[in-house]
Structure 1
Amino acid sequence: MKRMISGALLILLMTVISFGCQAMTEEAGAKQGTAYYVAANGNDKHPGTKQKPFRTLKKAASIAKAGTTVYMRGGTYKEKLIVRHSGTKKAPVVFQAYGKEKPVISGASLKGNQADGGLVKIDQKSYITLKGLTVGHIKTNKEDVTPIGIFITGSGKGVKLLNNRVYDIQTTHQNGNAHGIAVYGTKAPAAIEDIEIKGNTVEKLKLGFSEALVLNGNVKKFRVTHNTVRHTDNI
């Protein structure tokens, strides 16, 4: 009987140790993170490594979950970046330029209502970082379409926009609206909070009745510092 109890305790102890090690490994993995790469000459059938990168931002965003950094190689990406998953405080989702390369997210090929909303959109997501990206070339001549370079909306927390360039966002309609960077809290009483917008350049905009860089609605605990806003025709 004593041997049976000892054996059961040993199995229980080993199980606890096993789960404890697994939890530690998962936590370390989340902190260390996973890296994926996107390149203009990539292929979405690739594994997303530096040697075999993805081709589209859509593919990268679909698998970029907590702890993931997506490195964007230099080149032009003619598509929107729609962030699909939230990160955590310790393991954010990061989209950033690789090294000193200059990836451009371009809306030049978007037509009609496709130009509405954010060329980069973070909707109801938390702990997202965008760093070193160039976003631009989106325009409309329609009154009911509002092009936006980077659009944060809904509710959420922990979003950082660092050292990006947003330019050539335009409305040509006499009653039109456009934004360079816009943060709109639209899910009150839940807020968009803990927002950092730092070191960005917002320029060459035709805004109609709207603003170059705006935080509107239910937004709190934000820091907007060391940004350059120039060559715009409105606020």
Structure 2
Amino acid sequence: MRATLLVAGTALAVASVLAAPPLDAAPAPVDALYVATGGDDANPGTLAAPLRTIQKAVDLARPGTTISLRGGTYAPDTNVRLLRDGTSSLPITLRNHGGERVVVDGENMPHTPGAVGSSIPRAERGAIHVEGDHWRIVGLEVVHGPYGVFALDTNGSVFERLVTRDNYESGLHVQGASSGNLVVDLDSYGNRDPRKNGESADGLAIKEGSGAGNVVRGARLWNNSDDGLDYWMFSSPILTELTLGWGNGFNRWNLPGFTGDGNGFKLGGNGVAADHTVRDGMAWDNAASGFVDNDNPGGHRIERSTAWDNPKTGFAFDRSSSTLTKNLAVANGIDVSVGSGSAGVGNSWTTWSSSSARTTAPTAAGWPTRRCTPG
């Protein structure tokens, strides 16, 4: 990759994240269930006699249950549906066992891919489909699904250390009345949507809904057909920290009539107002822009973030009243476009000339798995 990263105050923050302990602070479960590819759904679900299917374990779970998946590839022909509620003190946890690699492969499910112009029934969206509250989904790799993880009207849930890649829609998609959710250390890449010619498959999408207290921290979103991150028509503030978006919006799959947008961070749109905050973000080598308000007229706060080598605009906040502070923009088609209602201090475009910048080879794309703590 020819990209070069110029980090505005981000390196120290990233170093602190890499040194932080893992997010594994859920209360001790009241019971546990184990699943293995060689198990049997007639088994009791113990470590010695595990179940075979994830859905069987999910159906047996109660608040406080931890479902531990043994290593291997699970390839059901219908999606896994998480419809039961945990509680704030007793969430239901679905996770990999120990450090074992667990892949949930949705290739056998309907709509993988859907026909051009078709729609996916809501209940069939996502190789993992979440409609319950207070779930913790940890350490899974979700691939080839009709969406990777699709969460509708979920509250108080945690999506931790997930890989959502090569799905036939967005990697992780949250929608509807959804509040108090945490997305931490997500890797989401290579997602595309042939049925929409690449127009809607994002790395992370929190769209068409509302709900306070949603936080995204430590996500890496790259090589998706549409945008890295998209908050289209979500009308409540979202806090986004230590998140990267690069290489989005290119037609890597030879999709006909390709319509992917190609922004690193898209903060809403269609005139729906919400005051989003982005701290210590980076966007580079996207097909369009780095950070955009996308006609979300809210008062965004963009702090200590970097836009580099995006062919359109590094920071496009000309349709909002936003505050941009200590950001860096270099080698974009246009480094910054802000409206008369926007303000900010300490940004590169007002404090120094980018022509004197020294560039170095990027390392962000090769970071090891990050570990973040909740805020």
CA distance in 2, matches of 1:122, 1:32: 20
Deviation at 1:113, TM superposition (A): 7.8
Could you tell me how far 1:212 is from its partner in structure 2? 2.0
Q: Higher helix fraction: Structure 1 or Structure 2?
A: 1
Q: Cα distance, 1:44 vs. partner?
A: 0.2
2:129 to 102, 115, 121: 121
1:225 match: 217
For 1:200 and 1:157, locate their aligned partners in 2 and report how far apart those are by CA, in whole Å.
Answer: 18
Structure 2 CA distance for aligned equivalents of residues 112 and 234 of structure 1: 19
User: Structure 1 residue 197 and structure 2 residue 188: aligned?
Assistant: no
* Equivalent position of 1:51 in the other structure: 48
Tell me the SS of whatever aligns to 2:159. Answer: strand
1:127-165 per-residue CA deviation (whole Å, 9 max, x = no partner) reads 100000010123xxxxxxxx2101110x24111000010
| Structure 1 residue 47 displacement after superposition | 0.1
**What is residue 134 of structure 1 aligned with on the other side?**
141
Give TM-score scaled by structure 2 length.
0.47
Matched, 1:184 2:175: yes
State the alpha-carbon separation in 2 of the partners of residues 76 and 195 from structure 1.
Answer: 27
1:206 aligned partner: 192
Contact 2:171 2:203 in 1 (8 A): yes
Partner of 2:158: 160
Cα 1:160–1:112 shift into 2, 3 Å: closer
- Over 3 Å counting, the alpha-carbon distance change for 1:114 and 1:34 in structure 2 is farther
1:76 partnered with 2:68: no
Q: Report how far residue 219 of structure 1 moved.
A: 3.1
Partner-residue secondary structure (3-state), 2:179 = strand
Q: Does 1:169 align with 2:159?
A: no
SS at structure 2 position matched to 1:158: coil
- Tell me whether 206-215 or 160-169 shows the greater mean CA deviation: 206-215
Match of 2:127, as an amino acid?
Answer: L
| 1:66 maps to 2:41 | no
Q: CA deviation at 1:204?
A: 1.3
Equivalent residue, structure 2, for 1:141: none
Q: Can you list the C-alpha shifts for 1:99-139, whole angstroms capped at 9, x where unaligned?
A: 0101111111124489741111111x11100000010123x
Q: CA offset at residue 220 of structure 1?
A: 2.4
> Does the alignment pair 1:85 with 2:84?
yes
Give structure 1 stretches of 5+ with no counterpart.
1-29, 139-146, 171-177, 186-190
TM-score (norm 1): 0.74
For these two proteins, the number of residue pairs brought into alignment is 184
Secondary structure of the corresponding residue to residue 60 of structure 1: helix
| Rg (Cα) greater in structure | 1
What is the CA–CA distance in structure 2 between the aligned matches of 1:156 and 1:136, rounded to whole Å?
21
AA of the residue aligned to 2:75: K
Deviations 1:50-93 (A, max 9, x none): 00000001110101110100000011111222113111111100
Q: Which runs of 5+ in 2 are unaligned?
A: 1-26, 115-119, 228-375
The answer to whether the 8 Å contact 1:31/1:90 transfers is no
CA contact (8 A) 2:130 2:154 kept: no
Q: 1:205-227: CA deviations, max 9, x gaps?
A: 12411122111112321000101
Q: Distance in 2 between matches of 1:81 and 1:111?
A: 13
The DSSP-based 3-state class of the residue aligned with 1:194 is: coil
Which stretch shows the higher mean deviation, 212-221 or 158-167?
Answer: 212-221
Give the distance between the partners of 1:169 and 1:231, measured in 2 at CA: 12
Distance verdict in 2 for CA 1:114–1:64, change over 3 Å = farther
Aligned structure 1 segments of 4 or more residues deviating by more than 6 angstroms: none
- The offset of 1:32, in angstroms, is 4.0
Partner of 2:103: 104
Corresponding residue of 1:21: none
- What letter matches 1:203 in structure 2? Y
Distance 1:158 1:131 in 2: 14
**Structure 2 letter corresponding to 1:108:** E
Write the deviation string for residues 165-199 of structure 1: whole angstroms up to 9, x where unpaired. Answer: 000113xxxxxxx21111111xxxxx310010000
